[in-house]
Amino acid sequence: MDPIITVTEWANEAAGERPPTLLDIRYQLGGPNGRPEYEAGHLPGAVYVDLDAELAAPPGPKGRHPLPDVEQFGAAMRRAGVRADRPVVVYDGGTGWAAARAWWLLRWAGHPSVRVLDGGLAAWRAEDRPLESGVPEVAEGDFVPAPGALPLLDADGAAALARRGLLLDARAAERYRGEVEPIDPVAGHIPGAVSAPTTENVTEQGLLRPAAELAERFARLGAKDGVEVGVYCGSGVSAAHELLALAVVGIDAALYAGSWSEWVADPARPVATGAQPG
C-alpha cells in the first residue's frame, strides 16, 4: 500500500460509508501543546494525538523522544479510536514529521494500513476545505500493538550499519557537519553516516516529491539493491519522514529511534564532523 494519501483522495474516502480513522498529530519542537490549535480547527472527524505524551516516552538516556511504552501507546491509540481492521490516516500542520512518527509507530506496532496525508493541514487549507472545531466523540478502538513489524536499530546497530551498509542522517546539513547544534549538547554525526536532510524530500509546497525523483535521490546517496539502509535524526521524529519517503520508492529502511540525542548521551561514542562520512 502507498503510505501517502492526497487531499483529494482523503476527501473521497472521508465521504464513504466507513472512512478510515483520522488522527491529528500537530506538534512543534519546543513549542506549546498542539491541542488548543486542534480544538480551534481540524479536519472533520480527526482525533488529536499528543506526540510528546503518547508517541514517545519521557526524555532520558535513550534520547529526547524514546519509543513509548507499548502498553501505553496501545491504550492511547484505542482511546483515539484506532481499530486493527480499519485503515488509519494521520496528518500534522504541514511538515509531515510528526505525522510520519505516528505512521511509523503504528506500522512498527503491527497495524496493516496507515497513510500520511500529503501536505497535511496546510494542503487541506490550501484547497479551502472545511474544518471543524471541538472534540468529536469516537468509539473505543481495539488495536493491540505487536511490535517488530518494521526494522529498528539501537546505538550499536546504527554504528554497525554505518560500516556495512548505508546510514542516512536526516538532519539539516549544517548539523551533520557539526557547524551548529541548536538542541543537543554535542555537534557532528555518527561516523560513517551520510548526510541526507529530509527537507530535500519535499517540494516548496510541502508535498513529497514524485517517487521517481525520490528514487533518484536515494540512489545517488547509495541506496541501491542489496544495500541495507538505516536512518537517524535528532530524536527519531524527522527520521520517520525520511523513512516515509524511502517507503514510497519501495526501500525498507530501519529507524535508529534514539538517534543523535541518544548517541551523544554516552561520551564514549565517537563523533565525526565535516562534510564527509568520516
Neighbours of 179 (CB within 10 A): 14
Total residues found in the chain within this entry: 278
The residue among 91, 49, 96, 90 whose CA lies nearest residue 73 is 49
Measured CA to CA, the distance from residue 194 to residue 176 in angstroms comes to 9
Measured CA to CA, the distance from residue 227 to residue 36 in angstroms comes to 44
Residue of 49, 116, 233, 265 marked catalytic: 233
Mark whether 233 is an active-site residue: yes
Which residues are part of the catalytic machinery? 233
